[in-house]
Amino acid sequence: MSGPRAIAGALAVVVVALCATRSAHAALQIEITSGVRDPVPIAIVPFARAVPADGGLDVAEVVQHDLEGSGRFRALPRERMPATPTRADEIAAPLWKGAGSDYVVVGRVSAMESGQVAVDFDLVNTLTGARLATQRFVGAPGALRNAAHRVSDAIYQKILGVRGAFATRIAYVAVDGSPPAQHFQLIVADADGANQHLVLESRFPLMSPSWSPDGQWLAYVSFETKHSGVYVQLVRSGERRQVSARAGVNGAPEWSPDGRKLALTLGGSSGNPDIYILDLASQDLTRITDDPAIDTEPVWAPDGHSLYFTSDRAGSAQIYQIGAQPGARPKRITFGGSYNARPRVSPDGSQLAMVTLDNGAYRVAVQDLASGTVRVLSHGRLDESPSFAPNGATLIYAERDGERGALATVSIDGLTGLRLKAPQGEVREPAWGPFSP
Amino acid sequence: MRRVIVVLLVAASLALGACAHKRPKPAPPEAPDASAGAQGSGANTANAAAGADEEGAGPQAGLLATKVVYFDFDSSEIKGTGTDVVAAHAKYLTAHSNTRVRLEGHTDERGSREYNIGLGERRAQSVRRALLLQGAADAQISTVSYGEERPAVPGHDEAAWAKNRRVEIVYLTQPLAPKQ
């Protein structure tokens, strides 16, 4: 086939008039679908407020929501709290032990002279009375919810030994209506589904959002020209540029770990999808696969040296690994079952999440790359698009809940999960963003 | 149509006004290169595509009225009546050499989305090759795959899936530019 034709001006910057604060759909609704048998009992006492600087946000409620949503904590209801301390030295540990809580969180929101808002919290072990953590987060009043998620992250890490991923964001696609009156929205929200921000909307499909490693940009596919194109967009300002609108398929962009390149799928005029690497600064294109099969859905290994991708070169869709340079030879990674596709690699590079055909149902599975062991983690019939949290502890994926697409999470041990539903329409293709600095 | 555009413009300017004070004014958009196609400049929507490739009703006589070819699961093989439908369109395109079509490949909802883009493209290419073999010219045909993104019918059973595994033959109103 002839090489895909580069379109002149593909890098022309197009500024999209996007309002950074504009909200999209109403907030996603959360329901916890499974949790561990013995969650950690914890009391999160209402924080001392700073009215009106806190904008009415109940920080303790956000923290409680985060921790309970993880399925690993059980919070003491407020009406059963024996006292309302806001400082560690006000906590009578035995009182809280008696109320059944192993840990107590207290805190304070205060307005600073600079106009910023400070959140202080203390975490106390009720058995020993020891103060396990004391921390302060300072930010603009509008970032108070983010500060609350950082409190959750710190508590999660102190008690469970794993960094929490509550102060992170997800991107996803929301769809209303049916063709020809479809309405697509690309949305960014906090990991708990709150604080939604509309990135782009279109009457034509929007697909495959992928975060840049710095969390500033999204790459995605848009059919707005009635032809597929790959775009990159600065989330904060809406500034975007088209980076590929070559003949045939332009799809499946995935940002390299160094943020300089995209792996993507190009079909060319002959219509045979193969994997390429696009250098974003130079626009240089490097062909990685050359096979008459469908090669697509590339994703980078965390070291940036290789790619995993889906190919039906052996007759059915399976996952392969190939060096990220021309002429590399692919190695097949999945062998169980007739369909394994859409790989995503855990942040430590040890696990591969994918969609697998399991007893006639499409489900999310994780393969341990060292041992080859596969575990099916979801239970739906049309589950897809798994994406790792940056701490590697949880996957978010898309499922079909009755007639509608919803998002769901499952912990890597399969023990905890929750569902995020839009009040109307469906949500799909979640992509979990990186840790913010 | 004009009214819709006015409403969109008003909505866009309202959206702009609402946030203009919250961030620096963006640089004026560069004029998109014509070859890059229409882009969503000047609005927060990406819907500026119309115009370049307007769709027409196309021929209606006999088999030509049928503009959809259906496929089996995970297959791009043209079968049954699909063969006759493609032959009729090939004959029409051969006789009307400045008529253009866009072949839109689709899949059912099963399997991953980008893999389905590949499968829809494979189906569109299968119809394209059949048209070329039967006399149509390459310049008359373009292809696009929507994968599972634009189903013909809702529903999540075999009856719905069978209607969604398809290639739509879309006749375009803009004729092929005459050869110089």
Over the stretch B83-114, which tens digit does the pLDDT of each residue have? Answer: 999 999 999 999 999 999 999 999 999 999 99
Q: Give me the CATH code for the A37-160 domain, please.
A: 3.40.50.10070
pLDDT in tens, A247-266: 999 999 999 999 999 999 99
Could you tell me if A230 lies within 8 Å of chain B, comparing CB atoms? no
Where do the CATH 3.30.1330.60 domains begin and end in chain B? 62-172
Contact yes or no for B33/A7 (Cβ under 8 A)? yes
CA distance B25 to chain A (A): 10
B47-51 long-range contacts, CB within 8 A, separation 24+: B47/A202, B47/A203, B47/A204, B47/A224, B48/A224, B49/A204, B49/A224, B49/A225, B49/A226
DSSP letter for A177, please.
S
Which of B47, B110, B114 is the best mutation test for A, with the most CBs of A within 10 A?
A: B114
Fold adopted by B62-172 = 60s Ribosomal Protein L30; Chain: A; (3.30.1330)
More confident residue, B180 or B32: B180
Task: Give the model's confidence band at B37: pLDDT under 50 very low, under 70 low, under 90 confident, else very high.
Answer: very low
Task: Name the one residue in this structure whose structure tokens are 């080859």.
Answer: A372
Per-window interface: B 72-91 vs A, CB < 8 A:
none
CA distance A2 to chain B (A): 14
Alpha helices per DSSP H over A70-108: 93-98
Size of interface A-B (CB pairs under 8 A): 201
Output the pTM of the full model. 0.87
Residue A332 has pLDDT above 50, yes or no: yes
When the pLDDT of each residue in chain B is averaged and rounded to a whole number, the result is 79
Which of B49, B167, B129 is CA-nearest to residue A227? B49
Domain ranges, ordered by start, for chain A: 37-160, 168-432
Of residues B18, B114, B151, nearest to A265 (C-beta): B114
Cα separation, A96 vs A104, in Å, equals 7
Residue B177 structure tokens: 């530019």
Residue A7 structure tokens: 């379109």
User: What is the complex's ipTM, to 2 decimals?
Assistant: 0.90
Question: How high is the pLDDT of residue A137?
Answer: 96
CA distance B16 to chain A (A): 6
Question: How high is the pLDDT of residue A296?
Answer: 98
Per-window interface: A 388-417 vs B, CB < 8 A:
400, 403
Cα separation, A114 vs A135, in Å, equals 19
Please judge whether A310 and B115 are an interchain contact, meaning their C-beta atoms are less than 8 angstroms apart. Answer: yes
Question: How high is the pLDDT of residue B44?
Answer: 56
Please judge whether B36 and A21 are an interchain contact, meaning their C-beta atoms are less than 8 angstroms apart. Answer: no
pLDDT in tens, B41-84: 333 567 554 445 789 999 999 999 999 999 999 999 999 999 99
Second CATH level (architecture) for the domain A168-432: 6 Propeller (2.120)
Per-window interface: B 130-149 vs A, CB < 8 A:
143-146, 149
